[in-house]
Amino acid sequence: MMHHHHEYMQEGTRRTTSRTQQQSKRHKFFINDNIDILREILKRLDGPSLGVASCVCRLWCNLTTKDDSIWEHLCFRHVSTPPPASVRPVVVALGGYKRLYMVCVRPVLSRLGESEMVRKQVWTRHEVQLSLSLFCIDSYERLAGGMVASDAAASSLIFLCNPINV
Amino acid sequence: MEIVSDSSSPSKTKDIDGLLANVGYKVRSSELHQVAQNLERLESAIVNSSSDISQFASDTVHYDPSDIGNWVDNLLSEFDHTASLPYDFSQLPDLSAPPPQHHHHQSSSTVNNVEEDSAIKLVHMLMTCADSVQRGNLSLAGSLIEGMQGLLANMNTNSGIGKVAGYFIDALNRRIFGQNNVSHQVSLYENDVLYHHYYEACPYLKFAHFTANQAILEAFNGHDCVHVIDFNLMHGLQWPALIQALALRPGGPPFLRLTGIGPPSPDDRDNLREIGLRLAELARSVNVRFAFRGVAAWRLEDVKPWMLQVSSKEAVAVNSIFQLHRLLGSESDSNYHSGIEMVLGWIRSLNPKIVTVVEQEANHNENGFMERFTEALHYYSTVFDSLEACPVEPDKAMAEMYLQREICNVVCCEGPARVERHEPLVKWKERLGKAGFRPLHLGSNAFKQASMLLTLFSAEGYCVEENQGSLTLGWHSRPLIAASAWQAVPLLDAETLRFDC
């Protein structure tokens, strides 16, 4: 009786294993098939991690470089009250959220973050306004024509780069 | 220096200082430094002496003044006071401080002392030279210049007093040899380039623009038709930020007109119009209705109010960044209005909602040359100090050239050619008050924005201060730029302001 029981058990296990294997083949979750979820995850990354993410594969690269909403989220995640809807068309017209982040928000954040006043990493509308103003000047200088590369900051914003210990 | 032959002591002739020998004093060149120091000590001892020195006066006849070294030594021994330098160096920022030396630690103390001594001597010589220029003693001034140039050759001219002194020596040189108005007429193009680098290298222009914009933005609250008059358009760098802020204001943007004043362009180009087109494109991209008009004039006095085409339905803002002081040197016209009175008068006739004025916080408009020179030396030393911290080349070098032209103008020029007639805020307050304006407080938003802007500059040393509604930007507690806002006092019934022609 024990012998039969044992054989019965073994067969049962074999059947269960093959069933789970088939199940996993049918319902295996692949992140690249679910772009909305991917986007939600990417939105919550910080700047450097987004940079790393863009190197993973072509899909991720396209998402991070072409999808501005991810960068919009990154730009304003520190803001205590979300900016009004009128901001988006202005930012898009001036060059987009990715550029806003790379050229203004990131340097301003890092520079302000160094000062003792703003360690709390929460922005008020003042910091937002200042970043937007600087971004606008950058956009205007690029209008002046072709002297700067597309990702480099325009000349007047160079003071935001390379903090030097004086 | 001339060698004076002295038949009584031929072996020592080469050592005697020629300049002093010409006026009757015998001093060995090697002892000049020591004698000079002792003279200073004597002077300060006499000046600071609280006791009766009349007996001292009678003692001096016992000593031979032509042997001035010994004479001073003897007189000094009559005093018990401790020495102090005649000029109060505690007020000169960093002038005698040696430049930061990262590599020499052990030997730095001796090097520092030598550098400090040279710096002090250099400043002394600068003052003496300026004084002799004021007295008209150009030959003494000339030889002092040679002396200073010699001193500079052994000093560090990359920073600190060496660098600033170099510019001032150069300016004095130009003044003495009459190169006042000719040498530094840069072309408009060069001026543009220098201005742009000055904009990038230091926060002064940015502070001016951002503070003025904030005040203008607040003044335009609730108005749908607004008109900004810019007294010096340059590249129009002030206006993108205002356009963007207006685009995002709650309630939507107004119709913005901008009138930019600037010098006429050479050749067939129309620089003003090009800047206007660029600003228009920016405004269009953010959906702000925009119109631009350029007014070309060499001087602000030549602008007439009708050229600005101000309509009564619009809210007007007049923006003057470092322009008003240029009017202070112009002569009065036939109606006995000086340039500044005339311009302030027609500004008032436009009934502006706000007039933003940013000026250098310095007194470079005294009639006395010596006072002007001293003030300018203090002021520009501080400015150059703040530039030291700028990490970006070639911006820094160009910014220095931009400032050098200002220095030259303050030191070399007189009359209408001297346009850099900076005056401190208290004087502007007086002037604007008399012209019928009352101050508007700049508010906490402007202050916060300015503070934040300064935090972004890598140099720590800039400070923003609020002073009765106006903001000043300074370096280590010396204010350098003052921004203020004004509103026209409503005209009384009997008053009319007419500016025809």
CB contact set of B268 (below 8 Å; sequence gap of 6+): none
Domain match, B298 and B378 both = yes
Domain match, B198 and B134 both = no
Domain match, B250 and B151 both = no
**CA separation for the pair A54, A51 (Å, rounded):** 5
Domain match, B224 and B333 both = yes
Whether residues B457 and A159 touch (CB distance < 8 A) is answered with yes
* Residue span of the structural domain in which B337 resides: 188-488
B248 → closest Cβ in A87, A143, A163: A87
Q: Chain A: nearest CA to B392, how far in angstroms?
A: 7
B365 neighbors B497 (Cβ within 8 angstroms): no
Query: What residues does B356 pair with on adjacent strands?
Result: B319, B485
Query: What residues does B225 pair with on adjacent strands?
Result: B255
Greater model confidence, B229 or B86: B229
**CA separation for the pair B71, B62 (Å, rounded):** 9
A137 → closest Cβ in B241, B247, B457: B241
Check whether B99 has a pLDDT greater than 60.
no
Domain match, B279 and B420 both = yes
Domain match, B236 and B280 both = yes
Closest residue in A to B391 (Cα–Cα): A164
Residue of A35, A29, A119, A30 whose CA lies nearest to A78: A119
Check whether A18 has a pLDDT greater than 50.
yes
Domain ends where: B177, B203, B227? B177
Tell me the average pLDDT across B227-241. 94
Is residue B98, in this structure, part of any structural domain at all? no
Q: Chain A: nearest CA to B196, how far in angstroms?
A: 8
> Residue B231's pLDDT band (boundaries 50, 70, 90)?
very high
Is residue B4, in this structure, part of any structural domain at all? no
Q: What is the DSSP string of A60-81?
A: HHHHHHH-HHHHHHHHHTTBSS
Tell me the average pLDDT across B181-193. 67
Q: What is the mean pLDDT of chain A?
A: 73
**CA separation for the pair B279, B292 (Å, rounded):** 8
Domain match, B132 and B281 both = no
Q: Look at chain B and report how many structural domains it folds into.
A: 2
Greater model confidence, A127 or B169: B169
Which pLDDT value is given to residue A150?
Answer: 38
For the ranges B20-29, B398-407, B471-480, B484-493, the lowest mean pLDDT is seen at B20-29
Is residue B226, in this structure, part of any structural domain at all? yes
CA atoms within 13 A on the CB side of A71: 24
Domain ends where: B138, B154, B177? B177
Domain match, B161 and B198 both = no
Tokens of B220: 């335009």
**Which one of B271, B447, B458 would you mutate to disrupt binding with A, by most A Cβ within 10 Å of its Cβ?**
B458
Q: Chain A: nearest CA to B283, how far in angstroms?
A: 10
B241 → closest Cβ in A84, A111, A133: A133
Tell me the average pLDDT across B370-388. 91
The total number of residues shown for chain A amounts to 166
CA atoms within 13 A on the CB side of B96: 18
> Residue B213's pLDDT band (boundaries 50, 70, 90)?
very high
Tell me the average pLDDT across B88-99. 44
Is residue B352, in this structure, part of any structural domain at all? yes
**Which one of A99, A122, A133, A134 would you mutate to disrupt binding with B, by most B Cβ within 10 Å of its Cβ?**
A133
Count CB pairs under 8 A between chains A and B. Answer: 100
- Chain A interface residues (partner B, CB cutoff 8 A): 84, 86-87, 89-90, 93-94, 107-108, 111-112, 115, 117-118, 126-127, 129-130, 132-137, 139-141, 143-144, 155-156, 158-160, 162-164, 166
Question: Mapping DSSP to helix (H, G, I), strand (E, B) and coil, where does residue B262 land?
Answer: strand
Tell me the average pLDDT across A125-130. 82
CA B394 to chain centre: 22
**CA separation for the pair B462, B473 (Å, rounded):** 7
Tell me the average pLDDT across B1-21. 54
Check whether B302 has a pLDDT greater than 80.
yes
Which helix (DSSP H) or strand (DSSP E) does residue B217 occupy? helix B204-219
Domain match, B331 and B256 both = yes
Which pLDDT value is given to residue B478?
Answer: 92
CATH number, domain containing residue B393? 3.40.50.150
B42 neighbors B72 (Cβ within 8 angstroms): yes
Percent of chain B at pLDDT above 90?
37
Is residue B20, in this structure, part of any structural domain at all? no
For the ranges B160-164, B209-213, B342-346, B469-473, the lowest mean pLDDT is seen at B160-164
A148 neighbors A103 (Cβ within 8 angstroms): no
- Highest mean pLDDT: which range of A59-63, A94-98, B82-86, B258-262: B258-262
Domain match, B139 and B217 both = no
> Is the preceding peptide bond at B394 cis, omega within 30 degrees of 0?
yes
| Angle of helix A125-143 versus helix B271-285 axis, rounded to 10 | 130
Is residue B473, in this structure, part of any structural domain at all? yes
Which helix (DSSP H) or strand (DSSP E) does residue B470 occupy? strand B470-475
Write out chain B residues lying below 8 Å of A111, CB-based: 455-456, 458
Alpha helices (H) in A28-124, listed in sequence order: 35-43, 47-53, 58-66, 68-76, 87-94, 97-100, 106-114
CB contact set of B152 (below 8 Å; sequence gap of 6+): B122, B162, B165, B166, B169
Is residue B68, in this structure, part of any structural domain at all? no
**CA separation for the pair B422, B412 (Å, rounded):** 15
Tell me the average pLDDT across B63-92. 58
CA B373 to chain centre: 10
Is residue B17, in this structure, part of any structural domain at all? no
**CA separation for the pair A41, A44 (Å, rounded):** 6
Q: Chain B: nearest CA to A34, how far in angstroms?
A: 35
For the ranges B168-182, B250-264, B454-468, the lowest mean pLDDT is seen at B168-182
B455 → closest Cβ in A84, A90, A115: A115
B391 → closest Cβ in A107, A137, A162: A162
| Tens digit of each residue's pLDDT (9 = 90 or more) over A83-115 | 888 888 888 888 888 888 888 888 777 776 665
Domain match, B138 and B169 both = yes
Domain match, B151 and B219 both = no
